[in-house]
Structure 1
Amino acid sequence: MQKVTIELLQAIRRKPISKAELVRLTKYSLAIVTEHTEILLEKNFVREIDRGPSTGGRKPLLLSFNAEAGYIVAIDLESTNVRVGITDLNCNILVSESLDDIDVLAGPTTVLEQVKELVFALLHRVGIESPQIKGIGMGVPGPVEYSVGLPASLSIMRGWDRYPIRQFWSQYFQCPCYVDNNVHTMAIGEQMLDLESKIENLLFLKIGNGIGAGIICKGQIYRGSTDCAGDVGHINMGHDILCYCGNRGCLEAFAGGRAIAARAEEMARNGQSEVLGEIYSKKKKLTLVDVRQAVEVADPVAVELMRECGVAIGNVLAGLVNFFNPSLILIGGGVSQVGDVLLASIRQAVYQRALPLSVRNLVIQYSSLGENAGIVGAAALTVDEIIDNNAFVYTDAH
């Protein structure tokens, strides 16, 4: 019987809907729909709102998901920064803030303590108490054994292997916690923009220090048999640069954020770019922000650097397009903020190298949510899980 209630709640969550529409959508009888929606109304997870359009008789009352029945803590952890948001149950961001002095190599205890302080500061800012939090969603910049919520071994997150993130948060909140690779949460966040979207097959490509893809297949996130699907940054593209994974030739070692900064720094030292050289002489190092600054003033060396990276990424994407045949590719992550030259180069490479049939209806564009994709996705993942796992339907909404 609980399965019916959950199925109805998921349907109501997607849009305001009448009982008659629920009957048509779910194939349950009107008596069963009425019985279970009464449970949801009593628990305050559903509200009755204005009447919908008439289909010939009396205008029906619409049932709407109550987004204010609780709140979600959403966390998007990157290797050098973190963004935290507090959302309602419709994943609308109530408040959010970033910390740019995070270093995941400092280890999970240090980093999570920093994140915890930010979480409680945001809760205090909007006047929300811990018991009102119905779930915590957290994206991390590396593989995760999703079923158990444990980060897997990866050089970018040394010291985090199988660290019990869920148990850390259970010290402060009495609610479920879900941990995933943040490129997966970003993909889910973009899909959350329109729950009725007809786009069921899409790739979200995050280009940061690492490069990874979130795969939405037939409307569902695809994680693979060991939860590590989408690690496209380690596809070999034929160069001889040593990657931190121990192999040579990885896309990430050529076009990831750290790789771009390192190549720009070498160009500055060699006198290839006056703009980059001036920045380097003052700072004695270059970052992705400096490269973006050089691109913004149309420095030809920086522009060509980003064009080369876009072509390399596009060449890899072309193979993925031939294999997976998505209808939408979204580009996000820190490197995507460098400028339009990157997106133009990616598009050109994909459209040139992928098969004509594969790209006939393909759209390639920047992420609509930008820096908020990770926290919206972490919240959406969490709401889906707590509904599907019956984590609050049969508990007091207050």
Structure 2
Amino acid sequence: MTVPKITKVVLQAIRRSKKPLSKGELVQITGLSLATVTEHVERLIRSQLVTDLELGQSTGGRKPRLLSFNTEAGYIAAIDLESTHVHVGILDLTCSIIISRSRLIDVSQGPKAVLEQIKELLFQLLDESKIDQNLIKGIGMGLPGPVEFSTGLPASLPIMPGWDRYPIHQFWSQYFDCPCFVDNNVYTMLLGEHTVDSISDIENFIFLKVGNGIGAGIMVKGEIYRGASEYAGNIGHNNICHDHLCYCGNRGCLEAIAGGRAIARKAEQIAREGKSTILKEVLKIKGKITIDDVKFAVREADPVMVELIRESGFQIGSVLAGLVNFFNPSLICIGGSVAEIGDVLLASIRQAVYQKSLPISTRDLVIRSSYLGDKAGIIGAAVLTAEKIIDDSLIRTKEGTYSI
């Protein structure tokens, strides 16, 4: 049976709130009358989707009952897949993490092999948390590449052979009786970051992911901007006038010179030439250099690696400056595995943006590291899923109550 739109509005307001709400506060948030709020709240309480166990401060009369979302109404399985690792979590419907874990993974193994490994990790988390798989109300998954969000199908990407148009939702439907939502993980990171209290009211901002790939999630007036083909924000393939061949087939892409793989490749060459004492020793032991080795060398203040990261950050910031001039955001948050290098990268990105953008575009601009770090992806995947399942999957039972 059809659920009234007003009911969804009231439930979403309660679910999104960081604290329990009184009916008066719900009236202010939703713009509905007190009688309307009361009617729908009572039905949501009978449906056990909302609880009213707390008493608020009196403003002169009786203490108001405070309403909160029932966090035991269900859970979300959230997955943040990168090209070399995956972060899997189980979150409640308010998008608070119950349990999560990361594991190394190789997306080039293909979707079946990778999804089987993720499934194994997810079921381990369910066992450890003692959460019944039937209580999973939705699955959210971020991928390290373009996704046609309206269909949930990945687009072709050379680093992900076999993933093009692969029906990920069909894989999960074998194990869970719930909807599955798939998106580019720079968009899920953007959504996750937007849950942070200090920026949740900022409507125009950019989340810049710097990992093996480089991409931007763009929020316009509180909504993700996806573009005509749902692939907006691919700044890693902006041409910056060099001759390096990118995996996309073009030459001169930002990602081919400043992405994680490119940095590790250049660092390994530096180590082979003996220019970095630290990485020269690492190369002897391991036989190769990874981005984690570069992070270690930067933390140890290796001057050659510090300079390499400064150059990479300035190149990234130079491209970002064009986006700042065009879009004029209030905030840029920078995350991703390479961004974990820290202040050296952040400072050089800032330098390039402020140097190459118009002063009027940067007058009120804040550029900072991600608040959520490696948790942004799974929290954002859960936010995406929770919003969708309440909007699309909330049903009315024969008894007149509601169920997810």
1:110-121 correspondence runs (5 A)? 110-121=113-124
1:344 CA drift (Å): 0.8
Contact 1:43 1:393 in 2 (8 A): no
Q: Which residue of 2 aligns with 1:38?
A: 42
Give per-residue Cα distances to partners, 1:265-311, cap 9 Å, x unaligned: 11122232222222222222110011111112211111100000010
Which SS does the other structure have where 1:142 is aligned? Answer: coil
Give the structure 2 partner of residue 109 of structure 1.
Answer: 112
Residues 162 and 55 (structure 1), Cα distance of their counterparts in 2 relative to 1, 3 Å cut: same
Partners of 2:197 and 2:396 lie apart in 1 by 24
Residue 381 of structure 2 is matched in structure 1 by 378
Secondary structure in structure 2 of the residue aligned to 1:157:
coil
1:270 corresponds in structure 2 to 273
Identity %: 63
User: For residues 81-137 of structure 1, what are the alpha-carbon distances to aligned partners after superposition, in whole Å with 9 as ceiling and x for unaligned?
Assistant: 11100111111111111111x111110000000000000010000101111111110
Residue of structure 1 equivalent to 2:13 = 11
Give the match's secondary structure for 1:155. Answer: coil
Indicate the residue corresponding to 2:71 in structure 1: 67
TM-score by length of 1: 0.96
In the TM superposition, what whole-angstrom CA distance separates every residue of 1:203-226 from its partner, at most 9, and x where no partner exists?
A: 111111100111111111221121
How many equivalent pairs are there? 397
Q: Which runs of 4+ in 1 moved over 4 A?
A: 392-398
Give the distance between the partners of 1:96 and 1:36, measured in 2 at CA: 34
Counterparts of 1:51 and 1:259, CA distance in 2: 56
| Structure 1 residue 44, shift from structure 2 partner | 1.1
Residue aligning to 1:91: 95
Q: Does residue 1:296 correspond to 2:299, yes or no?
A: yes
What is the CA-CA distance between 1:26 and the residue it aligns to?
A: 2.9
**Counterpart selection for 1:216 from 212, 219, 232:** 219
How many Å separate the matches in 2 of 1:165 and 1:314? Answer: 34
Match of 1:181 in 2: 184
RMSD of Structure 2 on Structure 1 (CA) = 1.7
CA contact (8 A) 1:135 1:175 kept: yes
Deviates more, 1:322-331 or 1:304-313: 322-331
- Secondary structure of the 1:95 match is strand
Change (3 A) 1:27 1:277: closer
Query: Which secondary structure state, in structure 2, belongs to the residue aligned with residue 329 of structure 1?
Result: strand
SS of 1:97 mapped into structure 2: strand
Could you say which residue in structure 2 is the equivalent of 1:163?
166
Task: Deviation per CA, 1:341-366: give whole Å up to 9, x if none.
Answer: 11111111111111112111211111
Q: Is the 8 A contact 1:213 1:232 kept in 2?
A: yes
Displacement of 1:397 after TM fit? 4.9
The letter for the 1-side match of 2:63 is K
1:396/1:3 CA distance change after superposition, 3 Å: closer
Alpha-carbon distance between aligned partners in 1 of 2:27 and 2:282, rounded to the nearest angstrom? 64
TM-score of the two chains, using structure 2 as the length reference: 0.94
Equivalent in the alignment of 1:342: 345
Contact 1:70 1:89 (8 Å CA) reproduced: yes
What SS is found at the alignment partner of 1:156? Answer: coil
Distance (Å, rounded) in 1 between the aligned partners of 2:285 and 2:199: 51
